[in-house]
Amino acid sequence: MLCEAFGFPPSTLLWAHKALAYLLVVGIIAHAGAYMSFIANVLQNTPAEQATVSLLNPYWISPTQARLGAYSLCNFPSGIVLLVLVLVVTVTALGWVRRRHYEIFYYLHILLGILFMVFACIHADTNFYCLLPGLVLWLYDWTWRFWGGAGLSRSRTATIEDAQNGWTRITLLPSNKASGGLVAAGSVKKSGKTPLQTYYINLPSASKTQCHAMSAISASTNEESQFLFRPCESPGWTSRVADMSALELNQTIIRLEGPYTPNLPAMRNASNIICFVGGTGITGALSIADWWIHNGSSANHLSIYWSVRNIEMAQLPEWNNLCELAKDLPSLHLIVHITSKLGRMDLGQSLKEKVTGIRSPDQSTWVYISGPEGLLDDGEDACLAFKRELGRDSPDCHQIDWYAARWEV
């Protein structure tokens, strides 16, 4: 809801969430350390002085605390529980754990988050009033996500099929079924297509609670949307969905939230579009290609660099169709980089080579980056270095902008 209201990408909200969470962890550890120091200081006093202080709740002196009952003694135990909860949540949210054991991270994050709020209110009753604005915003956000214009409350029928070479395809079945995928240039009239549409997908047959963000491979409306993914090596949501493609009746009910589209005026006005994508990041590049081919983009050139681990990964029907189209479109350049043979792609060098020859004030380049974290970092570093080299602040220089599709920070 905040992303839609203020127009910033999800990565900004995730970064803010992570930054505030780390500040909370540091604050809790500092608070616990200060209280341990207080206890050590109290224990150095005489027995008579110690008797006037309750270590379970130092706010009240012992005689008063005896009249308040057991609840007043919960301050210290609830604080210990909060410290343990926040440490477990922090460890399981680390990238190494989250990527390898996503469902452990997912369910612990929700369950322990609820317990954290409960024990925070027990630890200090005024915490409830501090948590209340966030809880109201959270409830409003989920109400909007469920019953809003494109909410999760509506169900659709979809097919799940094996797209070959480890890929799985999810295709929505509209009331008027249209052929999916990329079609020949010129065979479709220009329409109001929008690239980089992101949906949150819930498949009750795989998990009733999990929603996963996916980019549609076409720039059409959700009546024609298709999604591609590769199941993770560890068991989880993606592997369960992939297993459904082997069933004889592979149709299922799907709940769809979206589409959400980033506000990217630089992409629409660019004269040169370059996509650096790795692995499943190709889905966003496919939607850009669909929009560029059918919607009359102002860009004169579109180049897609796809980094894959092995050549089998690039044997994707949608990619092969696009390669066929590229034979008749000289301004469409497709490059597959196989990391198992060539190592990591040098994005800075590729960017320089592609922009060479069009560096003029009336030309601009927009770069789309999607894929693993390392590729995202390399892509942003390459664009930033190239921007400095061009001297972007000068009005007589070639303009370059970029967008990194980050879904985790």
Report pLDDT digits (tens) over 18-28.
Answer: 899 999 999 99
Contacts of 80 by beta carbon, 8 Å cutoff, 6+ apart: none
- Do 22 and 60 belong together in one domain? yes
Region of poorest pLDDT, from 8-22, 59-73, 274-288, 306-320: 59-73
pLDDT at 220 over 50: yes
Angle at 116 between CA 6 and CA 64, to 5 degrees: 125
pLDDT at 313 over 80: yes
DSSP string, 248-288: SS-EEEEEEEEEE----HHHHH-SEEEEEEEGGGHHHHHHH
The residue assigned the tokens 């990041």 is 281
pLDDT at 145 over 80: yes
Task: Tally DSSP H helices, then E strands, for the chain.
Answer: 15, 11
Give the pLDDT band (50/70/90) at residue 62.
low
**Which domain does 165 fall in, by range?**
155-260
Give the pLDDT band (50/70/90) at residue 170.
very high
Give the pLDDT band (50/70/90) at residue 181.
very low
Residue 182: the pLDDT is 41
Give the pLDDT band (50/70/90) at residue 179.
very low
- Do 307 and 279 belong together in one domain? yes
Helix extents (H) in 43-126:
47-51, 62-68, 75-92, 95-100, 102-123
pLDDT at 191 over 50: no
pLDDT at 394 over 70: no
Q: Is residue 61 part of a domain?
A: yes
Residue at 182: amino acid letter? L
338-393 confidence digits (pLDDT tens):
999 999 999 999 998 888 755 566 678 999 999 998 999 999 999 998 888 876 54
Structure tokens at 236: 């989880």
Residue 345: the pLDDT is 92
Structure tokens at 292: 């560029």
Taking alpha carbons only, the member of 405, 401, 396, 28 closest to residue 196 is 405
The Cα-based distances of 32 to 39, 83, 85, 233, 296 in angstroms read 11, 8, 13, 39, 60
The backbone torsions φ and ψ at residue 19, rounded to the nearest 5 degrees and listed phi first, read: -65, -45
- Do 239 and 141 belong together in one domain? no
- Do 211 and 298 belong together in one domain? no
Give the pLDDT band (50/70/90) at residue 186.
very low
- pLDDT > 90: percent of the chain: 36
Alpha-carbon Rg for the chain in angstroms: 27
The residue assigned the tokens 């469920």 is 146
The arrangement of strands across the sheet holding 301-308 comes to 332-338, 301-308, 272-278, 364-370, 399-404
- Do 13 and 116 belong together in one domain? yes
- Do 6 and 135 belong together in one domain? yes
pLDDT at 190 over 70: no
Residue at 101: amino acid letter? H
CB neighbour class for 289 (10 Å; exposed up to 12, middle 13-18, buried from 19) = buried
- Do 110 and 76 belong together in one domain? yes
Structure tokens at 275: 């996509």
Q: Which of 5-9, 50-54, 241-245 has the highest mean pLDDT?
A: 241-245
Residue 183: the pLDDT is 36
- Do 25 and 140 belong together in one domain? yes
> pTM for the full model?
0.81
Distance (Å, rounded) from C-alpha 150 to C-alpha 225? 14
Q: Is residue 409 part of a domain?
A: no
- Do 169 and 120 belong together in one domain? no
- pLDDT > 70: percent of the chain: 81
Region of poorest pLDDT, from 107-111, 276-280, 324-328, 362-366: 362-366
pLDDT at 114 over 60: yes
Instruction: Specify the DSSP class assigned to residue 162.
Output: E
Q: 250 or 189: which carries more pLDDT confidence?
A: 250
Helix (H) / strand (E) containing 401: strand 399-404
Cis amide linkage into residue 372, ω under 30° from 0: no
CATH number at residue 235: 2.40.30.10
The backbone torsions φ and ψ at residue 308, rounded to the nearest 5 degrees and listed phi first, read: -130, 155
pLDDT at 65 over 70: no
Q: Under DSSP, is residue 334 helix (H, G, I), strand (E, B) or coil?
A: strand
With contact defined as beta carbons under 8 Å apart, do 363 and 272 qualify? yes
Q: Count structural domains, the chain.
A: 3
Distance (Å, rounded) from C-alpha 35 to C-alpha 55? 9
Contacts of 345 by beta carbon, 8 Å cutoff, 6+ apart: 276, 305, 307, 337, 339, 375, 378
- Do 342 and 229 belong together in one domain? no
- Do 8 and 140 belong together in one domain? yes
227-247 confidence digits (pLDDT tens):
999 988 778 888 889 888 877
Taking alpha carbons only, the member of 288, 283, 249 closest to residue 267 is 288
Residue at 166: amino acid letter? G
- Do 106 and 22 belong together in one domain? yes
Backbone dihedral region of 344: left (phi > 0), alpha (psi from -120 to 50 degrees) or beta? beta
Residue 298: the pLDDT is 63
Q: Is residue 330 part of a domain?
A: yes
Q: 116 or 154: which carries more pLDDT confidence?
A: 116
